[in-house]
Amino acid sequence: MTRTALITGASRGLGSALAEALAPTHHIIAVARTVGALEELDDRIKAKGGAATLAPMDVTQPEAMATLCRGIFDRWGSLDLWIHTAIHAAPQAPADHIDAKDMAKSIACNLTATATLISYVSPLLGQTGQAVFLDDPRGGTRFFGAYGATKSAQIAMARSWQAETARIGPKVHIAEPAPMPTATRARFFPGEDRSVLADPHDQAAAILAQLSLV
């Protein structure tokens, strides 16, 4: 029976690397807004002998996520693994200068969409499925008000779900990858020496091994 892995935020960075790492053992359901990047990911997955279903969708649209989850149920009946890497990286700014639109986008993507997806995906995972969230502890650090606050809130929600399902499932994991040369980090730290940062593919392999997902 084919194992399935839903990856929200799969088009680039760690999400893409995780999709490639899981491709030999899972059918990948790849969600992201960028069609071209998803198609490039599909090519890399096929080159590894895997298969993917591409879902060019915005995780902040509840109707789209409901359609996605209904499609997963109709085709496979359940889901083995969900990895949530979708994030909105608002520009750095002092707390008293955060742009209202950036704050709204941060809340919509990093917090509200996560809550919506948990409620939609949980029935698909059932008691035996697994979910993975990626922590980035920026909360409370200077100039990271919008991103740090909403990312911290996302992980707090994941920890609540983790505690609530510890005995009954699904199993919820929270991992903290090392700094990587992703587009998100480049926005936060322009001009940084990227050669000293961890390779996303190495981090993907390490996370999956640590959590015994491969």
Q: What is the pLDDT along the chain (214 residues), one digit of tens a residue?
A: 789 999 999 999 999 999 999 999 999 999 999 999 999 999 999 998 999 999 999 999 999 999 999 999 999 999 999 999 999 999 999 999 999 999 999 999 999 999 999 999 999 999 999 999 999 999 999 999 999 999 999 999 999 999 999 999 999 999 999 999 998 898 899 989 999 999 999 999 999 999 988 6
Domain count, the chain: 1
Q: DSSP 3-state assignment of 148?
A: helix
Question: Phi and psi for 124 in degrees, rounded to 5?
Answer: -70, -35
CA 162 to chain centre: 16
Give the structural domain span for 163. 3-210
Q: The domain spanning residue 135 has which CATH number?
A: 3.40.50.720
Residue 109's pLDDT is what?
Answer: 98
Question: Which pair of tokens denotes residue 55?
Answer: 């879902």
Residue 183's pLDDT is what?
Answer: 87
